[in-house]
Amino acid sequence: MRNSNIDYELCDMGKWNKILNKIKDKKVVIFGAGSNARDLLDLLECEISYFIDNDNEKVGKIINNIAIKNPEVLKYETEEVHVLVVGYFYDEMINQLFKFNLGKNIHIYNIYNIFAHTLNKISFSNRGEDLIKFFQTVPYNTIINSTFSKEKISILISNFSFSSSPFYLMTIAVMLKVRGTNVEIIWDDLEGLDELYYNHDNMTSTQNQVIGKILNYINERFNIHIIKVSESDLEDLDDNDIRELKKLSKANTISKCRKVFLDKECEEYEKKCFEILEYSLKKVKNLFKKYKIEKIISFTGIHKKTGLYTWGAKEYNIQVFSYDASTSNMILTTEGIATHYKHIEKIVMENKLDDILSKKFINFTEENFNKRLLSDNDMDSYVYQKISYNEKNNNYEYDIIIPLNICYDGAALGFDSIFDSIGDWLIETIKYILENTSAKIAVRQHPAERFLATGEDIKKQLENNFSNNPRFTYISSDDEINTYNLIRSAKLVLPHTSTIGIESALLNKPVIMATSAYYSNMSFVKKAKSKEEYFLLIKNTLNGNVKKICNESLNQAKLSYGLMMLTSIQTKFTDINMNSWVCESFENLLKSKNIKDILNIFESGDPIGIYKTENKFIN
């Protein structure tokens, strides 16, 4: 029986009916226990035995009286089971199941593509209604009219692939307003990117209908001014703008395709992405020219159109805050792109900490770095090494280690570099080393990629180019090798942007950078200004022309490491958890110290505030 609230035109019902015929009266399991799973129960016309999910915080809980279990339970199933994969990262999820070597009794179906558009529409609309009800819990006598004694904060609202980020940022705007802060909302209502992302029409307009309804309510109820980007004029772009657009188009494409070496389909995506961003930037530049913007808050600061605002703000020296979040913590920066951690550079290079606080961070590193080295598979500490570090293991004979980021992660994208792309950096650097030195080189895949089933494009490209050379080795995430043991045995480390560059310095290894990461201008690494200088630094280091890291530089590395390890804010108040906090009262949430700490950072603009949040040791 059809649900009248569901837009079946957005579903591929032909494909679904074929699957339904196969699974009828069989044991059915859903892989993915997020919001899609809840909404999917209204669509499916079959009984579900249980959910499986990789998020340990969900395992053991229930959805509509249906248990959530770990995916590994499938290894022990003896009867016929049909697994319906509903997550956005369905390729990785399916690959994960294939790696289990499950029996022929387990049948796997990707149904995300069948229902994705209608699920997104249902869920987004429901969350929008929930947010209005949440705002209705704000007592009228708690609203404080802005005194304009603080800098105005502009909050960027934009559709973001049906995520809860616009709803979260609307909530931040209202909370700041109620606290007495002068707030306005910039609504990027321009179309294009989500249509390209989903390869489907009307994706932006579908979200904008919901966003517009809530913004009208916010404007009327809380007197928050709304600026629509679509009403801006078109500004001319210069050469610097075009360079930035190319960088942002590349970053968005790598993020979407989850690969560095792009095939024709991804190259076409990049081209279309550039065209859409080019039009949007003309509007964004006019916006910054037309309005006096003092601070701006956005989601990630690089993905989709948010990178345009990070770029546009530079010309006017406008402070950009951005965040990224999981279910239990938030990365928040006061200096641009969330996952670039530029607030750490600001704190260290501008000596923002007094001697007592600096010593606390250095002590933290001295107490915790070795513990991290000796950890393996500690997901909570972001340690993904398959085997433990062994101080006595010096058996590796690689002169140079290139430890890779997860290259489609925001922490690897959008940086200024002396190379045009991550791929160019790898190919040109390895080629130079093999042709101009006698060094042995190992490229180490990020160990976490064994859980993600990605990175094959890099492995394939590098092995195609260099596998015939015995001095080149590619070490995959599945190999039983500890990255820190590789580094300890090496003469030189060439990171992209990863914190492993700092860790290498702490292991007293020379580090040379081609990219403007948050620590690349610090004294414990060498940052090249050109390819020629980069290659010369590599050659000189291999020839022994390197000084031991002095104590002052080592302390700078320890300080940077401590700041990095403690930069996450522990909080359940994130966009991903919207279904939970939206059920609470606005007034109670606003009283939470955890949330007050986050709002204080936006109001003060002080990066030190990130380290004064609840449960941080410097309180």
DSSP string for 232-248: S-PPP--HHHHHHHHHH
| Residues 192 and 301 reside in one and the same domain | yes
Unique residue bearing structure tokens 């492993």: 500
> Is residue 247, in this structure, part of any structural domain at all?
yes
Q: What is the 3-state secondary structure (H, E, C) of 11-48?
A: CCHHHHHHHHHHHCCCEEEEECCCHHHHHHHHHCCCCC
Q: What is the pLDDT of residue 111?
A: 87
CA 379 to chain centre: 16
> Do residues 334 and 380 both lie within one domain?
no
Q: Is there a domain that residue 617 lies in?
A: no
In a domain, 348, yes or no: no
Q: Are residues 336 and 226 in the same domain?
A: yes
Q: Which helix (H) or strand (E) holds 270?
A: helix 264-290
Q: Are residues 480 and 528 in the same domain?
A: yes
CA–CA separation, 272 and 252 (whole Å): 11
User: Looking at residue 393, what is its pLDDT?
Assistant: 60
Distance CA(185)–CA(219), nearest Å, equals: 9
Is residue 311 within 8 Å of residue 298, measured between CB atoms? no
Whether 556 and 573 share a structural domain: no
Residue 1: inside a domain, yes or no? no
Rg (CA), the chain: 25
Same domain, 105 and 173: no
CATH assignment of the domain containing 397:
3.40.50.2000
pLDDT tens digits for 273-309?
999 999 999 999 999 999 999 999 999 999 999 999 9
- Buried residues in 95-124 as b, exposed as e (16+ CB within 10 A): ebbeeeebeeebbbbbbbebbbbbbbbbbb
One domain for residues 89 and 152: no
What CATH code is carried by the domain that includes residue 78?
Answer: 3.40.50.720
φ/ψ of residue 331, rounded to 5:
-100, 120
For the stretch 7-38, pLDDT in tens is: 666 777 788 888 888 998 899 999 998 777 77
Do the domain assignments include residue 619? no
Residues 514 and 588 grouped into a single domain:
no
pLDDT of residue 531: 98
Q: What is the pLDDT of residue 359?
A: 95
**Closest Cα partner for 489 from 394, 388, 373?**
394
* Structural domains counted in the chain: 3
pTM: 0.87
| In a shared domain, residues 427 and 300 | no
- Max intra-chain CA distance, the chain: 76
The last residue of a domain, from among 534, 550, 565: 565
Q: Which residues pair with 332 in a beta bridge?
A: 323
| 592 shares its domain with 559 | no
Task: Return the pLDDT at 377.
Answer: 56
Domain boundary among 116, 149, 168: 116
Phi/psi at 520 (5° precision): -70, -20
- The residue segments making up the domain with residue 238 are 136-341+569-612
Q: Which residues of the chain have pLDDT under 70?
A: 1-9, 42, 143-149, 375-383, 391-394, 615, 617-619
Q: Give the CA distances from residue 40 to residues 106, 400, 479, in Å, rounded to whole numbers and listed in that order.
A: 21, 50, 38
Do 427 and 319 share a domain, yes or no?
A: no
CA dist 570 and 560 (Å) reads: 19
Q: Considering the domain boundaries, does residue 472 fall inside one?
A: yes
To which residue do tokens 């690959």 refer?
95
Is residue 122 in a domain?
Answer: no
Contact by Cβ (8 Å): 340, 600: no
Spatial CB neighbours of 110, under 8 Å, sequence gap ≥ 6: 85, 90, 94
Instruction: Tell me, yes or no, whether 236 lies in a domain.
Output: yes
CA–CA dist 541, 545 (Å, integer): 5
- 384, 400: one domain: yes
Per-residue confidence (pLDDT) for residue 169, from 0 to 100? 99
